[in-house]
Amino acid sequence: MTSITTPAAASDGKFRSDWATLGPWYAAEILNSFSVLLAVNGTYFYARYHLHVSAATLLWLPVCGGVPYVLAALLAGRIADRIGQRKLIQIMQVLNIPVFVLGAWAVYQQSLGLLFLLIILINLTSTMIWPAVESAITRSPGRMKLSSRLTVYNFVWACGNFSAMCIGGSIADWLSWPMVFILAGVASLTGWLVVLFLAVKQTEIGAHHAADSSQAETPPGLADSVRGKTLLKMAWLSNLLAYVCVNTVLPLMPRVTSGLHISSYAVATAIGSVWAFVRIGGFVLAWFWKGWHYKVRWMLFSFVGLAAATILIITASSVAEMLIAQMLLGVATAMLYSGSLYYAMHLSHGSNENAGKHEAIIGMGTVVGPAVAALSGTPNALAPKALAIGVLLVVGGLFLGRWGYIAKGHRS
């Protein structure tokens, strides 16, 4: 299928066309990712370093947020189909602002209960934005092919995540904890202004992928074959397991850094964000290196790296050990997330609801991983939590291995 371009695209060239149509969506995404991670990661570090909560309490925070995350992600696609991606994004961006103000009030009042409420509300509002942005990016006019759009999308939100995770502690050290959440609100407001004044109109967002090159990029007949369907199932399960790990590591990171006697907020958040920085490089690798496409072994290799990295981070006895494990985690999560999104768009009939299902899978990982870890061992013991996650990953790995065997047995 050839790309659909606007008259402006034909006359002004590829760069200007793609920048004019896709740039505002990418800007909105990086601002949304930055604001959400600034608030969420700030909540975890504040709860541990200032309120001195246990590791189990830190884990219950994402569990409470994961349930509304799943519901919001599943509903977002349907709502976007009904009112349009542009309107849905703007509504949620506006709703995010008072939510982040609540976060500033929560830390000012030193209220753990308000922090739990904050996490729930963030997941209700922000989760609606991601599927809508994914859909808008794949359906807006322009010449950039689908796989490139998705890779830039991954790169953009990963940059937003890393920058927020890295500087959150510095903001708290240099300014104050309430300012962490105020700046998150400012970022959300800026994102709303970008969409309001710069994003293409809803009528320009197509009903089908505007630059859908999936037919050319997908081997003939693979999408409807046993192998194609099995690869898609593997990608979604591996991505769920990746977010089981990420959403267990993320809330536990303050417990790990404090256990390593890192007292500075700025240093703790910077060290704890290394994996997110490496993940950016992983997304770039997944873009330029095509050798992993439709290869079962690379999915399985990434999963093994994911499992090893997660356990090593949680049980790290030194900063060096934690940093090495974070590098492995960053590459593994980048490959697994890229696979999930790539196969969802190339081995299924893409729609708003596909993007929503992709986000819902992430939400399921947000619930399952931290809940299993929180219930394991004493509240502050990390080794039992690492063991519990390890058992969960072994079970998931058995399914991946079985499906991988099926996929390899149905090569076209």
pLDDT tens, residue by residue, 157-215? 999 999 999 999 999 999 999 999 999 999 999 999 999 999 988 888 876 655 444 44
pLDDT at 352 over 80: no
- Among positive and negative, which fits the CA dihedral 129, 145, 351, 229? negative
Structural fold of domain 15-408: Growth Hormone; Chain: A; (1.20.1250)
Mean pLDDT of 84-108: 97
14-49 and 146-174 helices cross at what angle (nearest 10)? 40
Mean pLDDT of 393-412: 80
pLDDT at 4 over 70: no
Is residue 348 very low, low, confident or very high in pLDDT (cuts 50, 70, 90)?
Answer: low
pLDDT tens, residue by residue, 320-340? 999 999 999 999 999 998 887
pTM for this predicted structure: 0.89
- Distance from C-alpha of 410 to C-alpha of 199, rounded to nearest angstrom: 44
pLDDT at 225 over 50: yes
What pLDDT shows up at residue 355? 56
